[in-house]
Amino acid sequence: MAGAGETASARRRAAIADALAPDELWDLVIVGGGITGAGIAHEAARVGLKVLLLERQDFSSGSSSRSSKLVHGGLRYLKEGKFLLTRDSVREREELVRAAAGLVTPNQFLIVSYKAQPVPRVLNMGLRIYDWLAGMRSSDELSVEEVLARVPALREDGLLGGYVYRDAQTDDARLVLRVLADARRAGAVALNYVHVHDVTPRAPEAEAVTLAVEDLAEPGARYSLRARVVINATGAWADRLRVALGLRPRMRPLRGSHLAFPADRVPLPQPVTLFHPVDRRPLVIYPWEGVTVIGTTDLDHPDELDREPAISGEEVAYLMQVMTLLFPTRHLTLDDIVSTWSGVRPVIGSGHKDPSKESRDHAVWIERGLLTVTGGKLTTFRLIALDALNKARDVLGDEVRVDTLKPDHPVLDAVDPAPLIEAIAETLAEPGESALDPRGWQQRLLGRHGADAAAVVRAAEPVEGAATPLERVPGTTVTWAELQWAARHEAVVHLDDLLLRRTRIGLCVAQGGAALLGRVRACCQPALGWDDARWDRELARYQDLWRGRYSVPPRERVPAWTTT
């Protein structure tokens, strides 16, 4: 076991050596470290299975860190007549709000209606059904005056009024990490940057499936693993393992892109939903982690999946059209955009011409001994995990307690706040301006770090230029203590892991946080165990990645957009 004073690199080497020993037989090897894989690992470990999760890149580096950050029931499913799916979604939403307070936050979403894009009156009835399925009353119709009182910056010309309803928001990457942390406490092992490049189907009467894997952080380090069941939870990449077994492709990767603006340029106290004036697709503009975000697009993504997705100039113009129409007095330009991000949705293709009309339902297939689970929503990750495990039960047999494979337990582990409160009191002998609001701040740490929250505070070391490591990193909602903890304890292999997923500095601070990187280096380099040459390589890698994948495309690639 790695000691408390060891670096992140040493901890990882020890974990790899323990997990990839050749004589191990795993009940379950999960390929894919997004929210679906994390959920399966958690539920499987809860019922006593021996579980190993392997992620080819970083945890949540696919669509699970690039979503719209919404935990919602899915109003669109009501229109499609999927009442049971909507019911399940809103109930899981409320369970996440309860179990992950501080990470999953309820909010009043405002649907605005304009003369040019009126909201159908039938929506009012749909919202009532939405409330009924959730077991609460949260929606209401608003007048023009009431809408503007809530969001004064909105365009008044042509405004007809609006509706409010309840949904929730999250930091999707942190939600994956929280689920994985709970899974580890239940006995699961999770490793990032480990590539499964071959799966040998189970031979008749054989005990296990064989997997050939490689540690991508240590080139040339190859291992052979055995598992009773292999679950392919790689999302948009699901066809990769399937095609290797001679199966036909079934996925239709769709790209969704977002723009982020400084909160002071687009002050927004609550999320706003509207329909795009060109194609009537619903869009959401919402406050998140100190920025204001608009998303999302919905396009076929023909690019190579191993190349990180990036927003196109056409998508920028599509989203900017809405921002300039909705907030004309803010005079927004491309220069106001703090960052962009794009994710590839794991959608199962049906041949529909319109990408937005493809089903977002999840599916589970067992083919040639490989169990694939893909599709679905962030909100219902637990139900998807349980569905996958129930399908695996035929192979696992008596190892799985059937009565526990249903959602009648908390989605996340309960956390006692007392140790965190004690740790904060010891760290902040004289709380002042440097501390966040104690109640909200404690809840944030508990939600994001669960049972590790007190350790995050106790492990914090002094930070140059900060009165306490419990101060926020400038321009963000993350504290220096959380940054230190992530560097030492959260399996950071590359700098972008730290700045784009463990924290969201790269999404919420101009130029990917360039002005902060000197302080980040002083704070985190020792914990990471990187020498100066390694840090310089990681910095160059991160900056190239940010400019190419998270910034605005060159201006000549962004078409002009109409403002009327």
Taking only the tens of pLDDT, the chain with its 564 residues reads 334 467 888 888 888 888 888 778 999 999 999 999 999 999 999 989 999 999 999 999 999 999 999 998 777 777 777 788 888 889 999 999 999 999 999 999 999 999 988 888 788 888 888 888 888 888 999 999 999 999 999 999 999 999 999 999 999 999 999 999 999 999 999 999 999 988 987 776 777 899 999 999 988 899 999 999 999 999 999 999 999 888 999 999 999 999 999 999 999 999 999 999 999 899 999 999 999 999 999 999 999 999 999 999 999 999 999 999 999 999 999 999 999 999 999 988 877 777 776 777 889 998 888 999 999 889 999 999 999 998 998 778 766 665 566 777 889 999 999 999 888 888 775 544 444 455 667 899 999 999 999 999 999 999 998 888 889 999 999 999 999 999 999 999 999 999 999 999 999 999 999 999 999 999 999 999 999 999 999 999 999 999 999 999 999 999 999 877
- Domain co-membership, 322 together with 375: no
Give the CATH number for residue 229.
3.50.50.60
Same domain? 267 vs 235: no
SS3 content of the chain, % helix, strand, coil (to 5): 40, 20, 35
CA distances from 433 to 33, 422, 477 (A): 38, 19, 15
**What pLDDT score does 436 carry?**
47
Q: Which amino acid would we find at residue 120?
A: P
Question: Which one of 357, 372, 387 terminates a domain?
Answer: 357
Domain assignment present for residue 231? The answer is yes
Task: Give the whole-angstrom CA distance, residue 84 versus residue 66.
Answer: 27
Residue 228 lies in a domain: yes
Tell which residue, 339, 310, 279, has the closest CA to residue 507: 339
Q: What is the pLDDT of residue 3?
A: 44
**Do 227 and 350 fall within a single domain?**
no
> Do 158 and 292 share a domain, yes or no?
yes
pLDDT (0 to 100) of residue 418: 92
pLDDT at 8: 81
Same domain, 164 and 288: yes
**Which of 320, 341, 357 is where one domain is finished?**
357
* Residues comprising the chain, all counted: 564
β-pairing, 272-275 vs 221-232, is unpaired
Last residue of a domain, one of 357, 374, 390: 357
Residues 138 and 279 placed together within one structural domain of the fold: yes
Residue 461 carries which DSSP code? -
- Is the CB of residue 249 less than 8 Å from the CB of residue 365? no
Q: Say yes or no: 324 and 473 in one domain.
A: no
For residue 403, what pLDDT is reported?
Answer: 58
Q: Which domain holds residue 312?
A: 64-172+254-357
Residue 413: inside a domain:
no
Using alpha carbons, select from 499, 479, 495 the residue that is nearest to residue 540. 495
CA distances, 91 to each of 94, 135, 137 (Å): 5, 8, 14
Which residue is listed with tokens 């909201």? 119
- Say what the pLDDT of residue 206 is: 73
Whether residue 550 lies inside any domain: the answer is no
Total structural domains within the chain: 3
- The two three-digit tokens of residue 85, written as one number: 């799916």
Looking at residue 204, what is its pLDDT?
Answer: 67
SS (H, E, C) 36-103: HHHHHHHHHHHCCCCEEEEECCCCCCCHHHCCCCEECCCHHHHHCCCHHHHHHHHHHHHHHHHHCCCC
Euclidean distance between CA atoms 60 and 47, whole angstroms: 24
Asked if residue 200 belongs to a domain, the reply is yes
Same domain, residue pair 161 and 191: no
CA dist., res. 305 & res. 234, Å (int): 12
For residues 120 and 187, state if they share a domain. Answer: no
Separation of alpha carbons 308 and 387, rounded Å: 29
The C-alpha atoms of residue 533 and residue 544 are separated, in whole angstroms, by 17
The H or E element spanning position 520 is helix 517-528
Per the CB < 8 A criterion, the answer to whether 103 and 175 are in contact is: yes
Asked whether residue 4 is domain-assigned, the answer is no
Same domain (yes/no): 432, 511: yes
Give the span between the Cα atoms of 256 and 172, in whole angstroms.
15
**Where does 215-342 have alpha helices with state H?**
238-244, 313-326
Q: What pLDDT shows up at residue 435?
A: 46
Radius of gyration of the chain (CA): 23
Regarding whether 94 and 130 lie in a shared domain, the answer is yes
Nearest to 162 by CA among 205, 213, 127: 127
Partner residues linked to 489 by β-bridges:
none
- Would residue 167 count as lying in a domain? yes
157 and 286 share a domain? yes
CATH number of the domain encompassing residue 166 = 3.30.9.10
Assigned domain for 450 exists = yes
